């Protein structure tokens, strides 16, 4: 059964030298409404590597209204099993890490925003982050 093994809100996922990812525990906006760019990085483990899979991500405001829903991604069967990380008692252990960038997203207000991860039509998890007015002083 697929599970989320890790999740992080971060400023960017671009690989630059030196490589580093800056985690976010809040999203600071300078005004209401405000725009902000950020990324989410997550890992899914425990899916069957012998089947095709799909998923998408939903980012919602504090009222539960979706601000952005990504296009559905496809995770096809890989005959060489690049996603397989081991074998325990005859069960293949599979995993994949993905990143989604939200560029210049309009955030209408403050509050607790939510990211939902959907995989094969099922919600695997939801993760929250506060959006606060105040810009740099909260970072």
Predicted TM-score (pTM) of the model is 0.84
Give 16's contacts (C-beta < 8 A, 6+ positions apart). Answer: none
SS3 28: strand
Assess whether pLDDT exceeds 80 at residue 14: no
Other CB atoms within 10 Å distance of the CB of residue 102 = 19
Q: What is the CATH number of the domain that holds 46?
A: 2.60.40.2550
**Per-residue pLDDT tens digits for 107-119:** 999 999 999 999 9
Question: Percent of the chain, pLDDT > 90?
Answer: 60
Domain limits for position 7: 3-138
Query: In total, how many domains does the chain have?
Result: 1
Helix count (H) and strand count (E) of the chain? 0, 10
Q: Is residue 5 within 8 Å of residue 95, measured between CB atoms? A: yes
pLDDT tens profile 15-56: 666 666 789 999 999 998 999 999 999 999 888 888 899 999
Interstrand relation of 84-88 and 111-119 (parallel, antiparallel or unpaired): unpaired
Q: How would residue 82 be classed by pLDDT, with cut points 50, 70 and 90? A: low
* Rounded Cα–Cα distance for residues 125 and 9 (Å): 14
Say how far apart CA 65 and CA 3 lie, in whole Å. Answer: 25
């Amino acid at each position: 059964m697929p599970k989320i093994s890790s999740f992080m809100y971060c400023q960017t996922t671009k690989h630059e030298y030196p490589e580093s990812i800056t985690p976010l525990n809040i999203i600071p906006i300078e005004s209401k409404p405000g725009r902000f760019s950020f990324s989410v990085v997550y890992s899914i483990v425990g899916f069957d590597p012998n089947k095709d899979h799909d998923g998408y991500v939903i980012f919602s405001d504090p009222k539960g209204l979706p601000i952005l829903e990504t296009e559905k991604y496809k995770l096809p069967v890989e005959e060489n099993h690049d996603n397989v990380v081991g074998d325990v008692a005859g069960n293949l252990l599979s995993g994949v890490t993905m990143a989604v960038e939200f560029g210049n997203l309009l955030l209408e207000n403050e509050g607790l925003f939510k990211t939902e991860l959907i995989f094969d039509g099922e919600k695997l998890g939801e993760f929250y982050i506060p959006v606060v007015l105040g810009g740099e002083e909260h970072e």
